[in-house]
Amino acid sequence: MNSPNFQAIYVMWLRQLKLFTRARSRLIANIIQPFFFLAFLGLGLRSISLPGLSSRFGYLDFLAPGMIAMSVIFSSMFAGISVIWDRQFGFLKEVLVAPVSRISIVVGRTLGGSTVALIQGLIILVVSVILGVKISFIGLAPALIFMLLIAFFAVGLGLSMATRLQDPHAFPLLMNLILMPAVFLSTAFFPLEGISEWMRYLVYIDPLTYMVDGLRGFLVGASSIPLSVDIAVTATLCISTTMLGAYLFSRAEA
């Protein structure tokens, strides 16, 4: 009962993908926000020189990896709200009493949510290239792996929150309360080298900083923190939130 059931994992993964393809409004909403940032903010400030921004990169090149990371994180977090809706409609009870281990259910949901997030991240990546962002194709493969780590982190965080909440309307409010300040502090919009000293302490304790910086390092070669540090912190956070989400889900009540 405790060993992973690959059929259950596949079914839960497939269900997440079907929910994604049927909820077109969710797809559009998760893509349109980073697209607007890229199109209006990135192109509008394309020619300015921000303090700390290398002359080798335009602002659009700097902004694009942050928007890709934001798209992946927001999409991944929304995988958690499906747990609340499943509880509301009784589907979660049917899943929890099924003769499969709960770890199989968690793995399937996590893989499904991460796959959806990766697809949306790739869409923003393609849009970035169309808008003129100079992507390093050498770093594209490790960037995709790094995006998966980011997705696993956010899915685990979303599941952890969802298992403790009963009201589906509270989830997006709490998610925005946590994520929006973290996104703005993550250097997604401004270089680390150009901010004041006191704010750097807040930036360094923001976990999204290392995800945005690492993705920027792989995609455009402009990381402010050593890539080894970005990878180590992101991998640690990914493992931690995934394990926390699995533990809390295993104790969840239908």
Tens of pLDDT, residue by residue, the chain (254 residues)? 455 677 778 888 888 787 777 766 666 776 777 777 777 776 666 666 666 666 677 788 888 898 899 888 888 887 777 777 777 666 666 666 666 677 777 788 888 888 888 888 888 888 888 888 888 888 888 999 999 999 999 888 888 887 777 777 777 788 888 888 898 888 888 888 778 888 888 999 999 999 999 999 999 888 888 999 999 999 999 999 888 887 877 776 55
What is the pLDDT, as a whole number, of residue 24? 67
- Evaluate whether 8 touches 106 at the Cβ level (below 8 Å): no
- Residue 211 domain-assigned (yes or no): yes
Residue 1, pLDDT score? 45
- Tokens matching residue 8: 């259950």
For residues 166 and 87, is the Cβ–Cβ distance under 8 A? yes
Determine which helix (DSSP H) or strand (DSSP E) holds 58, and give its type and residue range: none
Could you tell me if 37 and 124 are in contact, meaning their C-beta atoms sit under 8 angstroms apart? no
Q: C-alpha angle 155/156/157, rounded to 5°?
A: 90
Token pair 């009201």: residue: 167
Nearest of 10, 12, 1 to residue 95 by alpha carbon: 12
Residue type, 167: D
In a domain, 198, yes or no: yes
34 part of a folded domain: yes
| DSSP secondary structure of 192-213 | GGGS-HHHHHHHHH-HHHHHHH
Token couple for 89: 């409609």
SS3 236: helix
Residue 244 domain-assigned (yes or no): yes
Residue 202 included in any domain:
yes
Q: How many domains does the chain have?
A: 1
Is 35 inside a domain boundary? yes
* Gyration radius of the chain over CA positions: 18
Are the C-beta atoms of 150 and 173 separated by less than 8 Å? no
Residue 145: how many other CB atoms lie within 10 Å: 10
Residue with tokens 């992101």: 234
Please report whether residue 1 resides in a domain.
no
Taking the C-alpha atoms of residue 80 and residue 155, their distance in angstroms, rounded to an integer, is 7
Range of the domain at 20: 6-250
Please state, in angstroms and as integers, the Cα–Cα distance from residue 243 to each residue in 206, 215, 230, following that order: 20, 23, 20
Q: Is 100 exposed, middle or buried (0-12, 13-18, 19+ CB in 10 A)?
A: buried
**Per-residue DSSP letter, 164:** T
**Side-chain half-sphere exposure of 207, counting CA atoms within 13 A:** 17
Q: Sign (positive/negative) of CA torsion 96, 243, 76, 126?
A: negative
